[in-house]
Amino acid sequence: MNKGSVLIVSGPSGSGKDTILKKVFEAMPEIKFSISSITRAMRPGEVEGEKYNFISREAFEEMLKRDMMLEHNEFVGNYYGTPRGPVDSVLENGGEIIIEVDVNGAANIRKKLSETVSIFIMPPSFEVLKNRLSGRGTDSAENVEKRMNEALCEIARADEYDYIVVNDELDKAVDDVITIIKNLRLKTERQKYLINEVLGKC
Ligand code: 5GP
pLDDT at 139: 73
- DSSP annotation of 39 reads -
Which domains are assigned to the chain? 5-199 (3.40.50.300)
Backbone angles phi, psi at 75, to 5 degrees: -135, 120
Taking only the tens place, the pLDDT of each residue in 98-148 is 999 999 999 999 999 988 999 999 999 999 999 988 876 667 888 888 889
Taking only the tens place, the pLDDT of each residue in 160-188 is 999 999 999 999 999 999 999 999 999 99
In testing the pocket of ligand 1, which one of 80, 104, 147, 157 has its CB within 8 Å of the most ligand atoms? Answer: 80
Kindly tell me if the per-residue pLDDT of 2 is higher than 70: no
* Ligand 1 centroid distance, CA of 186 (Å): 31
**Whole-prediction pTM value?**
0.92
**Mean pLDDT across the chain:** 93
